[in-house]
C-alpha cells in the first residue's frame, strides 16, 4: 500500500512556488494558425515514429486512483476546468462539464544526466497544503532526498480561461545542480471521458513556434505547454514523444523492461488508442540550483482552440491569475456563516470542496470527482462517482444552505426540477424500457443517477431521491418553491403512486420497505403539502398529509421486527423485501404483503448472500429522526440502538467510533486488500459517525455532545482535510462475515473507494453547525412539528398551544384535532393535526395559533381513513380564546 506522508513536511515558501509564474512567458498570439506536425529528425535510427496505429493501441486504459490529495476549480464561471490530484500529481481533469474526464495523470519523471536512475514523481515522498486556507489553490512538494531533488508546484486554474496552471520550481539538493538532472513531463490524456480512441500530436503555433503536445477525441482537445522550451536533439528537433501506453509511451521508453533510462522514442503522432505524451524540459547545463517555470494544460473544442487558450495563459501575468483565483475564493468564503465563530479550516475546506463540484453549466453537483478503485477500473465504468445522485445532491446542497450558501442550493433545486426531473412516461419498468431513448421514465420521477446533462445513467428508482428534492425546495422557501409548484406536485403525486415501497433503497441494491426511504418519503409529502397549501391547492395538500400520516403511523408495522435474531429481537430491519399490496383505494393499499416478522429472504448485492430479512440491520432507522418523522426517544428507535451498535460499530484506537453500512456488505476491498471488483468486504463509513453525532445532539439537546463524533470524523480525514467514503477497519467478524484488513494498512485511514466523498464533506458542515446550535440544524421543522418531534417557536402574532387530550382508542385508531384556523386545517380532516400517543391514554402535540383570537376546535379519530368525531353536547365545538402572548396548555378529555 502507498504510504501517505505528513503534509507539514518540507514545505517550500509560497514565493518559491510562484516563481515559475514569472519565468519564460513568451508566447504566440491568440488565434494564430497551427502548423503541421514536424518531422525534422535526420537520424531515424534513434527515432521510432508511430503515425496512426492499431485500432485500439496501447494497454487497456484505467482511471486514476480515487484517493485525492487535492481538487479545485476557479469560482469564475468563465473557466470550465475542474482538477484533482493523487499523491501530489495532477490526476483527473474535467472539462467542460464535471462528468467528462480529459486527463488521467500529469506528472514529472526525474532522471540524472548520467542516466543511472529515473524517478516517478507520484512514488516519492510528498506533501500537499493550501497556502491560503480560504482558497482551493494547492502547493505540492515532492522530494527524493536520496537522489537530491525537490519539486514544488502551485496548482490552480485560470479564472478567465479553460486552462490548468502549475507554477513549478525544480531544485537540485546537496552538492547537485541543474546540470546533473534530466526532467521530463509525462501526460496521459483521456479525452471525452474515454481512455481509448485518442489521438496525440506534436503541434506548434506558426508565430512564436511554441511546440505543444495536443490530444483530441471528438469535440474535446487538450494542449500541454511549458514556459521553458523542450530539449532538442542534435538535429534541432524537439525531444517530445506521442506514444501508446505500455508500448511506446515515455514511461516505457525510460523505465519499462530493458529500458536504458534514455529517451530513445520520439514521434509526432499516435492515433486511435490509449495515448501518452512526454516532453523533455530544457533545464540547461547551468550550475544553478533551481529553475522556475510554468506548465499549462489548455482545453478547447478543437486543437487550435486548446493551443491558443494555453498560449494565452502562458503569455499572461500568471502570478496575477493566481491572485485573481484566490480572490474569487475569498469572496465565496467571506459570505459563509462562521457558525458563531466555531467554523474551522476543515469546515471551509468542506464548503469550498462542495462548491468545486458544482457544474458551471447548469448547477448540477456530482457525488465525487473520480472513480472508486479507479486504477483497476476502465472505460466500461464511464460514470464512476462523477454523476448526479439526487440523494447525495440533497445531502450536500442542504449542508451548503446550513453554511450560508443558499445561492448554490437554489441553483441545485432549479436543476433538479427543470433539468433532471422526467417529463414523460416510457417503458414497462426499471431496466425494461424498449424504445425509450433515455430508458425508463415516469412523469415527475428522478432517475437513480444521471450525467450532468440530466441523461440517466442507471435505471433504478429510489424513492428517497423523489422526496429529497421537495424537502430541499421547501427549506429554501417560497421564492424558490413557489414557481416550481407544478413540477413539485408531479413528483409528490409520483410518490403517492409508487411509495412507500421502493425499487431500491439508499444503498441501491434491494427493493421493499426501508426505514430510511420511508422517512424521506414522509418528509417529502409533508413538505409538499406545505407548498401545496401556499399555492392554494388544499386538495393536494390533504392527499399528501393523509398518506404521510398513514406511513408515519405504520412504519413500525412495516419495518420493525419483534422476532429478530439479534439482541432482544426488537429492532428496525435494513429492509423488508415485500411487495406492496397495491389494491383498493384505502390506506391499506400501501401495506406490504408480508410484515417484518415473516420468515422471508433478501439477497444482498456485491456478493453478500441471501439471508432472512430479520438478520440484516443498518443505520437507516436514524433517518426517521433526521427527517423529523420520529422523536429520538421513540421506543422503537431506542430498541434498535443496542443491536445496531453491537453488530456494526467499531471503535478505532486513537480515532473514535465508526460503523459499517450493514452486515454482509460486500462493497469494499477484498480480505486480502485487493480492490473491489463486484465483490469484496464493505468497510467503515465516516458519514455514520456524523449521523450518530447528530442523533446524539437530537437526543440530549446539548450541542457539545456531538464533539466526540466531530473529532472522530476529523481523525478519519486525510492530512489535507478530505473525508473519505470508507476507512479501513481492524480485522473483525460481523455476524459471521469476516472482514479482514491487511497488516500493511492502518485502521481508520482511507480505503481506495472515494476520497473525498461529497456526502461526507457535507455531513461535516451539518455536524459542526448542529454542535454550535445545540440542535440538528437540518431537521425539517414542518415535519417534526407535525409529529410532535420538536418544538417550533411561535412566529410574530402567534402563541404556542400545548395539547394534552385523554382519549381511549384501540390499535389502528389515531387521534387528530382540527378547527377554524389554517394551523388546525380549517375543518379539513386530512389537514388536521395528529396527536401523539406517547403517554397513552394522554395524547400530546403542540401547535402555534393566532394570538388574541377566538378558536373553535374539535377532536376526531381516524381508522383506515374513516373519520369518527368526538361526542360533544349538542354536537358543538370546543372554544378557546388565545392570549396576546405566551403559551397555553389544554387539558381535554374525549368521549366518542
- Range 859-875 average pLDDT: 94
pLDDT in tens, 288-336: 999 999 999 999 999 999 999 999 999 999 999 999 999 999 999 999 9
Strand 798-806 and strand 887-893: the pairing is parallel
State the pLDDT at residue 318: 95
Strand 601-604 and strand 211-217: the pairing is unpaired
Distance CA 727, CA 822 (A): 50
Query: Does pLDDT of 375 surpass 70?
Result: yes
Alpha-carbon separation of residue 523 from 482, 495, 605, 768 (angstroms): 18, 11, 28, 23
pLDDT in tens, 233-268: 988 899 999 999 999 999 999 999 889 999 999 999
Angle, CA of 743, 748 and 749, to the nearest 5° = 80
Distance CA 558, CA 604 (A): 19
State the pLDDT at residue 205: 77
| Sheet containing 798-806, strands listed edge to edge, beginning at the edge strand earlier in sequence | 836-839, 842-850, 798-806, 887-893
pLDDT in tens, 767-814: 999 999 999 999 999 999 999 999 999 999 999 999 999 999 999 999
Confidence band for 9, pLDDT divided at 50, 70 and 90: very low
Q: Which residues of 332-359 are buried (b: 16+ CB within 10 A; e: fewer)?
A: bbeebbebeeebeebbbbbbbbbbbbbb
- Range 157-164 average pLDDT: 98
- Range 616-620 average pLDDT: 98
Instruction: Using a pLDDT cut of 70, give the percent of the chain over it.
Output: 94
Q: What is the DSSP letter of 503?
A: S
Nearest partner of 667 among 510, 488, 498, judged by Cα? 510
Residue 505 known to be catalytic: yes
The catalytic position among 38, 305, 375, 508 is: 508
- Range 498-513 average pLDDT: 97
The catalytic position among 505, 623, 725, 763 is: 505
Confidence band for 585, pLDDT divided at 50, 70 and 90: confident
* Cβ-contact 23, 319 below 8 angstroms: no
3-state secondary structure of 878: strand
Alpha helix locations (H) across 503-618?
515-534, 538-559
State the pLDDT at residue 306: 97
Residue with cell 448472500: 609
Q: Which residues of 639-649 are buried (b: 16+ CB within 10 A; e: fewer)?
A: bbbebbeebbb
pLDDT in tens, 725-763: 999 999 999 999 999 999 999 999 999 999 999 999 999
Name 321's Cβ contacts closer than 8 Å, sequence gap at least 6: 21, 156, 158, 159, 160, 165, 313
State the pLDDT at residue 26: 32
Distance CA 113, CA 118 (A): 10
Write down the mean pLDDT value for the chain: 93
pLDDT in tens, 394-406: 999 999 999 999 9
State the pLDDT at residue 43: 32
* Cβ-contact 468, 528 below 8 angstroms: no
Confidence band for 875, pLDDT divided at 50, 70 and 90: confident
- Range 496-520 average pLDDT: 97
State the pLDDT at residue 49: 29
pTM over 0.75: yes
State the pLDDT at residue 608: 97
State the pLDDT at residue 837: 95
Distance CA 335, CA 328 (A): 12
State the pLDDT at residue 53: 38
Query: Does pLDDT of 817 surpass 50?
Result: yes
- Give the 3-state secondary structure of 743-770: CCCCCCCECCCCECCHHHHHHHHHHHHH
Residue 691 known to be catalytic: no
Alpha-carbon separation of residue 292 from 110, 147, 208, 319, 856 (angstroms): 15, 19, 21, 13, 80
Query: Does pLDDT of 52 surpass 60?
Result: no
Confidence band for 98, pLDDT divided at 50, 70 and 90: very high
Strand boundaries in 245-390, DSSP class E: 269-273, 275-281, 290-300
CA 331 to chain centre: 23
State the pLDDT at residue 207: 55
Distance CA 392, CA 388 (A): 8
Query: Does pLDDT of 31 surpass 70?
Result: no
Confidence band for 285, pLDDT divided at 50, 70 and 90: confident
Residue with cell 424558490: 480
Quick one: cell of 425? 412516461
Confidence band for 615, pLDDT divided at 50, 70 and 90: very high
Distance CA 97, CA 465 (A): 23
3-state secondary structure of 401: helix
pLDDT in tens, 441-473: 999 999 999 999 999 999 999 999 999 999 999
- Torsions phi, psi of 723, nearest 5? -105, 120
Strand 842-850 and strand 269-273: the pairing is unpaired
Strand boundaries in 746-873, DSSP class E: 798-806, 814-819, 833-834, 836-839, 842-850, 854-863, 866-869
Residue with cell 519499462: 256
Angle, CA of 351, 357 and 359, to the nearest 5° = 130
State the pLDDT at residue 284: 84
State the pLDDT at residue 208: 62
State the pLDDT at residue 20: 43
Query: Does pLDDT of 45 surpass 80?
Result: no
Amino acid at each position: 500500500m502507498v504510504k501517505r506522508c505528513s503534509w507539514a513536511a518540507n514545505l517550500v515558501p509560497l514565493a518559491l512556488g510562484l516563481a515559475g509564474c514569472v519565468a519564460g512567458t513568451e508566447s504566440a498570439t491568440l488565434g494564430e494558425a497551427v502548423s503541421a506536425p514536424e518531422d525534422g529528425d535526420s537520424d531515424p535510427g534513434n527515432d521510432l515514429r508511430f503515425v496512426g496505429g492499431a485500432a485500439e493501441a496501447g494497454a487497456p486504459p484505467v482511471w486514476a486512483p480515487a484517493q485525492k490529495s487535492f481538487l479545485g476549480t476557479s469560482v469564475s464561471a468563465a473557466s470550465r476546468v475542474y482538477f484533482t490530484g493523487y499523491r501530489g500529481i495532477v490526476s483527473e481533469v474535467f472539462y467542460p462539464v464535471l462528468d467528462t474526464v480529459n486527463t488521467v495523470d500529469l506528472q514529472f519523471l526525474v532522471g540524472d544526466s548520467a542516466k543511472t536512475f529515473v524517478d516517478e514523481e507520484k512514488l516519492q515522498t510528498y506533501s500537499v497544503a493550501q497556502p491560503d486556507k480560504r482558497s482551493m489553490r494547492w502547493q505540492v512538494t515532492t522530494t527524493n532526498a536520496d537522489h537530491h531533488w525537490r519539486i514544488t508546484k502551485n496548482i490552480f486554474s485560470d479564472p478567465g480561461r479553460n486552462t490548468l496552471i502549475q507554477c513549478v520550481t525544480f531544485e537540485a539538493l546537496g552538492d547537485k545542480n541543474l546540470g546533473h538532472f534530466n526532467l521530463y513531463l509525462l501526460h496521459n490524456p483521456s479525452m471525452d471521458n474515454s481512455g481509448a480512441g485518442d489521438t496525440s500530436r506534436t503541434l506548434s503555433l506558426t508565430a512564436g513556434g511554441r511546440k505543444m503536445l495536443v490530444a483530441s477525441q471528438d469535440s474535446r482537445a487538450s494542449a500541454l505547454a511549458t514556459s521553458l522550451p523542450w530539449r532538442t536533439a542534435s538535429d534541432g528537433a524537439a525531444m517530445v514523444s506521442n506514444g501508446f501506453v505500455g508500448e511506446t509511451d515515455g514511461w516505457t521508453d525510460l523505465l519499462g523492461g530493458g529500458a536504458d533510462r534514455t529517451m530513445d522514442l520520439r514521434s509526432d503522432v499516435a492515433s486511435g488508442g490509449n495515448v501518452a505524451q512526454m516532453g523533455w524540459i530544457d533545464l540547461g547545463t547551468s550550475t544553478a540550483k533551481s529553475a522556475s517555470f510554468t506548465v499549462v494544460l489548455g482545453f478547447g473544442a478543437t486543437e487550435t482552440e486548446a493551443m491558443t487558450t494555453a498560449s494565452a495563459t502562458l503569455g499572461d501575468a500568471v502570478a496575477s491569475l493566481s491572485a485573481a483565483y484566490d480572490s474569487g475564493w475569498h469572496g465565496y468564503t467571506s459570505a459563509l456563516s462562521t457558525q458563531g465563530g466555531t467554523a474551522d479550516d476543515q469546515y471551509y475546506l468542506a464548503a469550498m470542496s462542495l462548491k468545486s463540484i458544482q457544474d458551471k453549466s447548469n448547477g448540477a453537483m456530482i457525488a465525487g470527482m473520480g472513480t472508486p478503485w479507479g486504477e483497476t477500473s476502465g472505460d466500461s465504468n464511464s460514470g464512476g462517482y462523477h454523476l448526479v445522485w439526487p440523494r447525495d445532491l440533497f445531502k450536500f446542497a442542504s449542508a451548503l444552505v446550513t453554511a450560508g450558501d443558499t445561492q448554490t442550493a437554489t441553483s441545485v433545486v432549479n436543476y433538479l426540477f427543470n433539468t433532471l426531473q422526467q417529463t414523460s412516461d416510457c417503458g414497462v419498468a426499471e431496466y425494461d424500457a424498449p424504445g425509450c431513448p433515455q430508458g425508463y421514465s415516469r412523469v415527475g420521477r428522478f432517475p437513480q443517477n444521471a450525467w450532468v446533462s440530466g441523461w440517466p445513467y442507471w435505471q433504478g428508482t429510489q424513492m428517497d431521491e423523489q422526496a429529497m428534492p421537495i424537502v430541499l425546495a421547501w427549506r429554501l422557501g417560497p421564492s424558490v418553491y413557489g414557481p416550481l409548484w407544478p413540477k413539485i406536485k408531479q413528483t409528490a403525486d409520483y410518490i403517492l403512486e409508487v411509495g412507500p415501497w421502493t425499487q431500491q433503497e439508499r444503498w441501491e441494491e434491494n427493493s421493499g420497505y426501508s426505514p430510511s426511504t420511508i422517512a424521506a418519503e414522509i418528509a417529502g409529502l409533508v413538505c409538499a403539502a406545505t407548498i401545496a397549501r401556499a399555492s392554494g391547492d388544499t386538495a393536494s395538500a390533504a392527499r399528501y398529509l393523509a398518506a404521510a400520516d398513514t406511513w408515519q403511523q405504520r412504519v413500525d408495522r412495516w419495518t420493525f421486527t419483534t422476532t429478530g435474531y439479534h439482541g432482544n429481537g426488537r429492532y428496525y430491519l435494513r429492509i423488508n423485501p415485500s411487495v406492496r399490496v397495491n389494491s383498493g383505494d384505502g390506506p391499506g393499499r400501501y401495506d406490504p404483503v408480508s410484515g417484518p416478522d415473516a420468515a422471508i429472504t433478501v439477497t444482498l448485492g456485491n456478493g453478500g448472500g441471501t439471508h432472512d430479512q430479520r438478520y440484516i440491520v443498518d443505520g437507516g432507522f436514524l433517518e426517521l429522526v433526521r427527517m423529523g418523522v420520529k422523536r429520538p426517544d421513540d421506543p422503537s428507535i431506542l430498541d434498535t440502538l443496542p443491536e445496531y451498535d453491537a453488530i456494526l460499530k467499531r471503535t478505532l484506537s486513537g480515532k473514535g467510533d465508526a460503523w459499517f453500512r450493514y452486515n454482509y456488505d460486500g462493497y469494499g476491498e477484498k480480505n486480502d486488500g485487493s480492490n473491489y471488483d463486484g465483490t469484496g468486504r464493505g468497510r467503515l463509513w465516516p458519514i455514520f459517525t456524523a449521523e450518530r453525532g447528530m442523533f446524539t445532539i437530537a437526543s440530549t439537546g446539548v450541542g457539545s455532545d456531538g464533539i466526540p463524533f466531530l473529532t472522530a470524523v476529523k481523525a478519519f480525514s486525510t492530512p489535507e482535510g478530505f473525508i473519505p467514503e470508507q476507512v479501513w477497519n481492524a480485522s473483525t467478524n460481523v455476524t459471521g462475515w469476516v472482514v479482514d484488513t491487511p497488516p500493511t494498512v492502518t485502521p481508520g485511514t482511507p480505503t481506495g473507494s472515494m476520497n473525498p466523498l461529497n456526502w461526507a464533506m457535507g455531513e461535516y458542515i451539518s455536524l459542526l453547525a448542529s454542535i454550535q446550535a445545540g440542535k440538528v440544524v437540518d431537521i425539517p421543522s414542518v415535519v417534526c412539528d407535525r409529529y410532535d418531534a420538536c418544538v417550533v417557536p411561535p412566529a410574530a402574532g402567534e402563541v404556542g398551544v400545548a395539547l394534552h387530550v385523554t382519549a381511549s382508542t384501540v390499535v389502528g385508531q389515531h387521534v387528530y384535532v382540527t378547527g377554524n384556523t389554517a394551523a388546525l386545517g380549517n375543518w379539513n380532516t386530512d389537514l388536521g393535526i395528529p396527536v401523539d400517543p406517547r403517554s397513552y391514554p394522554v395524547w400530546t402535540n403542540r401547535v402555534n395559533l393566532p394570538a388574541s383570537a377566538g378558536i373553535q376546535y374539535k377532536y376526531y379519530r381516524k381508522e383506515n381513513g374513516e373519520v369518527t368525531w368526538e361526542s360533544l353536547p349538542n354536537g358543538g365545538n370546543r372554544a378557546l380564546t388565545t392570549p396576546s402572548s405566551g403559551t397555553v396548555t389544554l387539558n381535554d378529555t374525549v368521549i366518542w
